[in-house]
Amino acid sequence: MNMKKEYDYVTKLDIKFDHHELIDVPQMVDECTDKWFNQTLTKVNDSVVRLGIVEGEYHWHKHEGDDEFFFVLEGKLLIDLEDKTIELGPNQGTTIAKGVMHRPRAPQKTIMLMVETSEIQPTGDE
């Protein structure tokens, strides 16, 4: 029996904004009360752009078939890999290759954008 783990994250996979609609990130940040919040903003071809408003730790996971791009707008994001930690500050980003175990952590409230395929399972492949 395959049981999915439950995590204390708010992950909204619905596309919040249609093309040509204004996306107001500061307003979304002001309205957010969750510690780890992820909202799909828009679809661009076969990929999506997601907003992460995060503080604390995510769990170790990987995506077998999908690369994942992280870009920090505010705060600090640490991405633990098996052999090192990548530290991202404002206006810095990195791409995590498919199949690589990783764990995002935010020691303070951090606002980031993620770009990934629309089919990705944000919590990783179980």
In this predicted model, what pLDDT tens digit does every residue of 45-83 receive, in sequence order?
A: 999 999 999 999 999 999 999 999 999 999 999 999 999
- Residue 3: pLDDT band by 50, 70, 90 thresholds? very low
Separation of alpha carbons 14 and 17, rounded Å:
9
Residue 72 lies in a domain: yes
Domain that holds residue 105: 10-117
Is residue 26 over pLDDT 70?
A: yes
User: Domain with 68 in it: what CATH number?
Assistant: 2.60.120.10
Asked if residue 123 is part of any domain, the answer here is no
Interior/surface letters 69-106, b for 16+ CB within 10 angstroms, e for the rest? ebbbbbbbbebbeeeeebebeeeebeebeeeeebbbbb
Q: Give, in order, the Cα–Cα distances in Å from 29 to each of 42, 108, 122.
A: 16, 14, 20
Task: Please report, rounded to a whole number, the percentage of residues in the chain having pLDDT higher than 70.
Answer: 94
**pTM for the full model?**
0.90
pLDDT at 122: 79
The strand pairing partners of 102, in sequence order, are: 61, 81
What residue type is 1 in one-letter code? Answer: M
124 part of a folded domain: no
Query: What's the structural domain count of the chain?
Result: 1
Give residue 1's pLDDT: 40
- Give a yes or no: residue 68 inside a domain: yes
What are the tokens at 125?
């492949």
